[in-house]
């Protein structure tokens, strides 16, 4: 049974203003480096009239992983994250995935960015899946915890960039 990730972020800026940052290569690169991952890089950022696709890669230091997880994955595991955003009514939505290279672990889900009465709200709903008997749920919990921390870091960085 996959482990769920659900979180919500509020911004004092309009959804369109937050979304505009997602198409800014410098913003994405700075946000990625601010999060502190190893070998962080923006693999691609493709903008169209109604959307943006962001692909990033970074490694997680093995030292921050539980010993059980670190023993199963050699070195610092690399993650690839894809966000495929598009206009959706008054807001924006995306399919996203985080894949850990060299491990049977992934996190997939949706993100929505919608106007609210005092700005906008970004909501993330995902599920981590690690199809390993006995250890899967423990590793899923680590994936959800680490990605949750990453989203929190990105929220703080984005709020600072927006000036609030």
Res 135: pLDDT: 80
CB-based contact 112:120 (threshold 8 Å): no
* Most distant pair of Cα atoms in the chain: their distance: 47
Among 19-28, 61-70, 151-160, which is the least confidently predicted range? 61-70
Res 154: pLDDT: 94
pLDDT digits (tens, 9 = 90+) for 45-101: 999 888 999 999 988 777 777 677 767 777 787 889 999 999 999 999 999 999 988
DSSP run (H or E) holding 143: helix 136-162
Using pLDDT thresholds of 50, 70 and 90, give the confidence band for residue 5: very high
Res 118: pLDDT: 93
Using pLDDT thresholds of 50, 70 and 90, give the confidence band for residue 164: low
Res 27: pLDDT: 97
Nearest-5° Cα angle at 43, 40 to 45: 120
Q: What residues pair up with 10 in beta bridges, in sequence order? A: 121
Task: Look over the chain and give the mean of its residue pLDDT values, rounded to a whole number.
Answer: 90
Burial label for 39, CB within 10 Å (0-12, 13-18, 19+), is exposed
Burial label for 47, CB within 10 Å (0-12, 13-18, 19+), is middle
Res 75: pLDDT: 77
Among 37-41, 70-74, 117-121, 142-146, which is the least confidently predicted range? 70-74
CA 154, CA 79: separation in Å to the nearest integer?
16
What's the mean pLDDT in 92-117?
Answer: 93
Whether residue 146 has pLDDT greater than 90:
no
CA 65, CA 70: separation in Å to the nearest integer?
6
Domains and CATH numbers, the chain: 3-162 (3.30.530.20)
Res 77: pLDDT: 79
28 alpha-carbon distance from chain centroid: 11
Among 60-69, 114-123, 139-148, which is the least confidently predicted range? 60-69
């Amino acid at each position: 049974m996959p482990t769920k990730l659900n979180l919500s972020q509020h911004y004092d800026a309009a959804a369109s203003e937050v979304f505009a940052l997602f198409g800014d290569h410098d913003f994405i690169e700075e946000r990625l480096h601010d999060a502190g991952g190893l070998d962080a890089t923006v693999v691609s950022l493709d903008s169209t009239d109604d959307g943006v696709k962001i692909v990033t890669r970074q490694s997680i230091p093995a030292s921050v992983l539980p010993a059980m997880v670190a023993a199963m994955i050699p070195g610092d595991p690399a993650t690839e994250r894809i966000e495929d955003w598009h206009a959706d009514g008054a807001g924006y939505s995306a399919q996203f995935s985080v894949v850990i290279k060299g491990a049977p672990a992934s996190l997939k889900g949706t993100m929505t960015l919608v106007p609210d009465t005092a700005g906008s709200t970004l909501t993330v709903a995902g599920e981590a899946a690690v199809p390993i008997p006995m250890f899967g749920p423990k590793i899923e919990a680590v994936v959800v915890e680490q990605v949750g921390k990453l989203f929190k870091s990105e929220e703080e960085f984005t709020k600072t960039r927006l000036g609030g």
